[in-house]
A and B are shown apart, each in its own frame.
Chain A
């Protein structure tokens, strides 16, 4: 009875909220992101090392022709929580790349073999060169791409995701993009040099030609050599390049949570004991 006003206020709030939110949120913006199963999802998620190695292979053989990985060093490939290459494999891999260094004693820049501490060299020397080679479009650096695309699942998911810890919208988006190339439907104009892909975040066409096709990359571990598998593997790999400490973050997080719950319980009983004799 005393809460009548309060209850009516709340009821009003809920009704008004639905009235505003319902139609507005249904419209949504950006592509629809389909949730995919990832080994690194959830509180105990960890990377699948074999998948990261395959994803790296896809990056190296396909993506790296146009896309850089400029915040990632070769040594990262052998570090804990990553694809799990050995130090020697990384040394050999780095040596396949040519890195500009210098100046030498004559003041000239020179090329030398890559070392583990070098970062992946970019395919183009600068933005202008990249645009000139790509019909005016700039292929983005992929180091952070899995965290840099604001693909959302819309209401009410964005609220529920706080509870379910869903934060794989980046790799979900990448997978959706790489598998999203289709014939343009009737009536959709595709400009010259563009390709139809409803999974793209800024419009329905983009300048990147479909990069993957079945049997394009030769896997040695017997995984299916399909566009679907390539897309999954390279998306997982790019999640790792964007968040290389994901595994230790979740592992430490579990310890922190367990500790805090224990400590909070003890404090609760301590606080109760102290307050036992006070009416409050």
Chain B
């Protein structure tokens, strides 16, 4: 009897630990489908790209289109706006990265890196303030670019944050010009 008393507990403990461990693994595996079902579904991921005809957008005008449920600003900038944006030293910017999905990560926030390559007048960016997600107003703010009314973020004519609580420049989505007048976003 004494012999079994000393041998038994360790065998029993092992059984309990094994059962508990297997149960924990199962519970963990079971949780994943219930979490993952809330991620974007296959149809949302597939709706990748839109085409926008910008032939009607004159110099100094913008249009707003919807891409992935978010507004995208497409603006043909004036000479003056381009000049203002180009003159600013990068060292003076709160966010010195281009935030341009078409460039390498870490590209600097020069005007050329923000605007459309080869078509400097065109600026395409996701019109969502990088602070808390409001949509900034165009042609306003202290820098003649965009101004977010929610918490007072000022963006310049290249969509870069200059003043206020927003941490980053507005994002440039993946896009390209297909022909002269058609922008393909996504």
Q: Which residues of A contact B (CB under 8 A)?
A: 73, 75, 79, 105, 115-117, 259, 262-263, 266-267, 269-270, 273
Tell me the smallest distance from the CB of A109 to a CB of chain B, in Å: 15
Tell me the smallest distance from the CB of B74 to a CB of chain A, in Å: 13
Tell me, yes or no, whether B3 is within 8 Å of chain A by CB.
Answer: no
In the complex, what residues of B have CB within 8 A of residue A79's CB? 42
Top-6 shortest CB links A-B: A117-B46, A266-B19, A270-B19, A75-B46, A263-B22, A117-B47
Tell me the smallest distance from the CB of A230 to a CB of chain B, in Å: 30
In the complex, what residues of A have CB within 8 A of residue B80's CB? none
Q: Is A266 in contact with B15, judged by CB distance below 8 angstroms?
A: yes
Residue of B nearest to A75 (CB): B46
Give complex CA distance A259, B46 in Å: 34
Q: Is A105 in contact with B42, judged by CB distance below 8 angstroms?
A: no
Q: Is A117 in contact with B43, judged by CB distance below 8 angstroms?
A: yes
Residue of A nearest to B23 (CB): A263
The answer to whether A270 and B46 touch (CB under 8 A), given A105-B56, A262-B22, is no
* 12 A–B pairs (Cβ distance < 8 Å), ordered by A: A73-B43, A105-B53, A115-B49, A117-B47, A259-B22, A259-B25, A263-B22, A266-B15, A266-B19, A266-B22, A270-B15, A273-B12
Chain B interface bracket (under 10, 10 to 19, 20 to 34, 35 or more)? 10 to 19
In the complex, what residues of A have CB within 8 A of residue B49's CB? 115
Main secondary structure of the interface of A (DSSP, over half): helix
Residue of A nearest to B25 (CB): A259
In the complex, what residues of A have CB within 8 A of residue B48's CB? 117
Question: For residues 20 through 62 of chain B, which have their beta carbon under 8 Å from a beta carbon of chain A?
Answer: 22-23, 25-26, 29, 42-43, 46-49, 53, 56
The answer to whether A269 and B46 touch (CB under 8 A), given A105-B56, A259-B26, is no
Q: Is A270 in contact with B16, judged by CB distance below 8 angstroms?
A: yes
Main secondary structure of the interface of B (DSSP, over half): helix
Q: A105-B53, A266-B15 are in contact. List 4 more A-B contacts (CB 8 A).
A: A117-B46, A259-B22, A259-B29, A266-B19
Give complex CA distance A141, B53 in Å: 35
Give complex CA distance A262, B22 in Å: 8
Give complex CA distance A214, B16 in Å: 65
Tell me, yes or no, whether B18 is within 8 Å of chain A by CB.
Answer: yes
Give complex CA distance A186, B43 in Å: 53
Give complex CA distance A73, B19 in Å: 45
Contact with A along B66-84 (1 / 0, CB 8 A): 0000000000000000000
Give complex CA distance A60, B1 in Å: 78
Give complex CA distance A115, B48 in Å: 10
Give complex CA distance A181, B26 in Å: 51
Q: Is B56 in contact with A269, judged by CB distance below 8 angstroms?
A: no
Give complex CA distance A266, B15 in Å: 7
The answer to whether A73 and B46 touch (CB under 8 A), given A263-B23, A263-B26, is yes
In the complex, what residues of B have CB within 8 A of residue A116's CB? 46
In the complex, what residues of A have CB within 8 A of residue B47's CB? 117
In the complex, what residues of B have CB within 8 A of residue A266's CB? 15, 18-19, 22
Residue of B nearest to A252 (CB): B33
Give complex CA distance A207, B26 in Å: 52
Residue of A nearest to B22 (CB): A263
